[in-house]
């Protein structure tokens, strides 16, 4: 089985944007125009997966390349299916019982 991609970086005009998905918390952490780790300030923006699916990336995150966006959506689809499988199994709704 392949490792699920949960973080991405892509170049923009004034730096690099990035995204990291926290699978356990179902949170997305976006980083806009990162340049260096010169301070301890956390300049990231947290967003739930549901917020992303209904409204897209935060306003200050621009120019997500199509291939990166495709990979993000593939990861979210895999996570959604894993949650559905977990819900079926935890409630005793195994595939054989449906």
State how far the alpha carbon of 24 is from the alpha carbons of 1, 29, 36, 47, 69, in Å. 19, 13, 27, 14, 21
Instruction: List, in sequence order, the alpha helices (H) in the chain.
Output: 49-55, 66-90
**% of the chain with per-residue pLDDT over 70:** 74
pTM of the model: 0.75
Instruction: Give the pLDDT confidence score for residue 61 in this predicted structure.
Output: 87
DSSP 5: P
Looking at beta carbons, which pairs linking 91-97 to residues 24 or more positions away fall under 8 Å?
none
From 21, 29, 17, 1, select the one nearest 77 (Cα to Cα): 21
pLDDT digits (tens, 9 = 90+) for 55-83: 999 987 878 999 999 999 999 999 988 87
Average pLDDT over residues 85-98: 50
């Amino acid at each position: 089985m392949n490792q699920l991609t949960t973080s991405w970086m892509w170049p923009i005009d004034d730096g690099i944007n990035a995204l990291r998905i926290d699978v356990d918390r179902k949170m997305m952490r976006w980083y806009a125009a990162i340049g260096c780790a010169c301070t301890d300030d956390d300049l990231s923006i947290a967003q739930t997966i549901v917020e992303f699916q209904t409204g897209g990336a935060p306003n200050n995150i621009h120019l997500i390349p199509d291939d990166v966006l495709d990979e993000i959506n593939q990861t979210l689809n895999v996570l959604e299916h894993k949650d559905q499988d977990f819900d079926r199994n935890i409630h005793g709704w195994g595939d054989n019982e449906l």
